[in-house]
């Protein structure tokens, strides 16, 4: 209930926009958190991702990425169903069943070649389909770029669509934490060069990341081709798809 109340406050309030036309009334706070995330990225995520990319062969990295993607298919399936996307839900079931069995727990991706293309859905997208506004742009510690609607969906709802979210050992969510760390390194390693290019070529790195995130988020909701080369879901762990 508290999370829902916070979401409503963000969606209803903060109606002003920046001079650029982007709904970012929290920009001063967002910039401070963005700077903190960027520092953490430079100190932890980037070195780990750079080492991972140089030390682990490309084929093995792709297998790890496939495995991590396979783990999120239950979330995608649940949101496809909630959105009434029967065909997409069928693709999600196909990918989960084929890649988990023939693809050896998802380390391989035969499903794509069998006519079951990959896609991602989350509860933030589901809320958008039902007309819930995103709210003002928001940067969260560690999580990075988001909208209040999407943060609510990811943190509060999607967690319960993932079976691994229920796995504990002595009351601790070690499995969830471990997969999150690995996913962070995987995502960051796939975005090393792209994000460096964005930072190097941007007059205002914060504004560039904000623009990339909002464009990509709109593309995800509309189920259209993503134009930006980088998904800045998080400054610490941007999720790109360089397949």
Average pLDDT of the chain is 83
Provide the token pair at 109.
């991706």
Please tell me which residue, 58 or 11, carries the higher pLDDT value: 58
Residue given tokens 């009334």 in the structure block = 25
Yes or no: say if 88 and 119 are a contact pair by the CB < 8 Å rule.
Answer: yes
pLDDT at 173 over 90: no
Instruction: Quote the strand ranges of 66-190, DSSP E.
Output: 138-140, 144-146
Rounded to whole angstroms, the Cα distance separating 94 from 168 reads 28
Q: What are the φ/ψ torsions at residue 203 (nearest 5 degrees)? A: -70, -40
pLDDT in tens, 199-231: 899 899 999 999 999 999 999 998 775 544 454
Q: Give whole-number Cα distances, 195 to 176, 202, 203, in Å.
A: 26, 10, 14
pLDDT band at 52 (very low <50, low <70, confident <90, very high): very high
pLDDT at 125 over 70: yes
Q: Count the helices and strands in the chain (H runs, E runs).
A: 13, 2
Calculate mean pLDDT across residues 4-19.
41
pTM (two decimals): 0.79
Nearest to 38 by CA among 242, 241, 204, 215: 204
At 3 the three-state DSSP class reads: helix
């Amino acid at each position: 209930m508290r999370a829902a109340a916070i979401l409503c406050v963000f969606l209803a309030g903060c109606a002003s926009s920046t001079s650029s036309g982007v709904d970012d009334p929290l920009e001063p706070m967002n910039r401070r958190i963005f700077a903190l995330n960027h520092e953490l990225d430079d100190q932890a995520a980037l070195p780990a991702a750079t080492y991972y990319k140089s030390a682990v062969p490309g084929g093995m990295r792709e297998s790890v990425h496939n495995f991590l993607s396979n783990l999120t298919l239950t979330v995608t399936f649940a949101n496809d169903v909630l959105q009434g996307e029967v065909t997409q839900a069928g693709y999600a079931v196909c990918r989960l069943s084929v890649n988990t069995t023939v693809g050896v727990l998802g380390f391989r991706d035969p499903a794509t070649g069998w006519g079951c293309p990959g896609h991602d859905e989350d509860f933030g997208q589901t809320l958008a389909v039902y007309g819930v506004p995103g709210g003002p742009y928001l940067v969260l510690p560690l999580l990075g770029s988001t909208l209040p609607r999407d943060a609510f969906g990811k943190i509060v709802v999607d967690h319960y669509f993932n079976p691994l979210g229920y796995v504990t050992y002595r009351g601790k969510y070690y499995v969830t934490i471990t997969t999150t760390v690995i996913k962070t390194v995987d995502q960051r390693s796939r975005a090393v060069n792209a994000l460096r290019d964005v930072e190097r070529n941007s007059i205002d790195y914060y504004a560039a990341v904000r623009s990339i995130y909002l464009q990509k988020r709109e593309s995800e909701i509309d189920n259209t081709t993503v134009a930006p080369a980088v998904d800045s879901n998080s400054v610490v762990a941007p999720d790109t798809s360089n397949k």
